Amino acid sequence: MTLADPRDRLIVALDVPDADAARALVRTLGDAVSFYKIGMELSMSPGFFELLDWLKQEGRKVFVDLKFFDIPETVARAVGNLAERGADFCTIHGNQSMMEAAATAKSRNLKVLAVTALTSLDRGDLDDLGFQCDIADLVLSRARRALASGCDGVVSSGLEVERLRREAPRELICVTPGIRPVENRVMADQKRVMTPAAAIQAGADYLVIGRPIRDAADPRAMALSVQAEIAAAAT
């Protein structure tokens, strides 16, 4: 996959309480970041869609991470509404029929990504959920099914990306969360993490980083440091 702008490979998660806080962080980061993720926390506060519209008006790309899981027709309508608003990425967390429905409703510009295994889950958590299989096998299986359904890619931990690149088609978009810069290794609820350089070298197309940038003493400087690390790893 060829990226039009290498700086788009960093996606900053706007994990903040409301749209005003999101706009403030975007302004702080300035031209250091061109791609943002808006998700569940912001969707429960006023102004979610106004924020999406504002980000697009500001020339930013937007990843709407709501992990749609519902009857196929409802999923298709939700994806269709996002396509009309100009979103660039969205996530689906369902079975084959849900993924197929999402794929039929996407536009040329809106890419649909299937969630594989959340980076907050480890082997014990998957056992509790009834997945009696290797995590990497689960991720690869969902990636293959996503592409067969017409989805554009997956959200996957960096720990599984290298195998995806070996065994799944190269056109698969890999968006990798759970990224922790070396100088910010506090994992909190993330259990399967990787540094930016390691994830890029493993084959990730995009990296999602939230708290390490949001909570840094100088968020813009941290974002620029991550951009430099991505650029170095990609050469």
The pLDDT of 69-90, averaged and rounded, is: 95
With tokens 């009696």, the residue in question is 132
Which ranges of the chain does DSSP label H, i.e. alpha helix? 19-29, 40-43, 48-57, 72-85, 96-105, 123-128, 135-149, 158-167, 196-202, 211-214, 219-234
Task: Judge contact between 8 and 35, C-beta under 8 A.
Answer: yes
Tell me the pLDDT tens digit for each residue of 103-144.
999 988 999 999 875 544 454 545 554 555 566 677 788 888
Catalytic residues: 65, 67, 70
Residue 99: its pLDDT value, please?
A: 93
CA distance 59 to 77: 25
At 19, the pLDDT band (50, 70, 90 cuts) reads very high
CA distance 109 to 88: 6
Residue 127: its pLDDT value, please?
A: 53
Residue 197: its pLDDT value, please?
A: 94
Residue 142: its pLDDT value, please?
A: 82
Tell me the pLDDT tens digit for each residue of 24-64.
999 999 999 999 999 999 999 999 999 999 999 999 999 99
CA distance 198 to 5: 20
Residue 121: its pLDDT value, please?
A: 47
Tell me the pLDDT tens digit for each residue of 154-212.
998 888 888 888 887 778 899 999 888 865 444 454 444 689 999 999 999 999 999 99
CA distance 87 to 60: 10
Residue 186: its pLDDT value, please?
A: 47
The reply to whether 196 sits in an annotated binding site is no
The reply to whether 65 sits in an annotated binding site is yes
Task: Judge contact between 168 and 143, C-beta under 8 A.
Answer: yes
What pTM value is reported for the model? 0.88
CA distance 213 to 184: 9
Residue 2: its pLDDT value, please?
A: 53
Residue 166: its pLDDT value, please?
A: 84
With tokens 């510009």, the residue in question is 109
CATH C-level class of 6-234: alpha beta
Residue closest to 86 by CA, chosen among 114, 113, 65, 57: 57
Conformational region of residue 95, where left means phi above 0, alpha means psi within -120 to 50, and beta covers everything else: beta
Whether the pLDDT of residue 229 is over 70: the answer is yes
DSSP label at residue 227 = H
The reply to whether 14 sits in an annotated binding site is no
| Residue 123 amino acid letter | R
The reply to whether 210 sits in an annotated binding site is yes
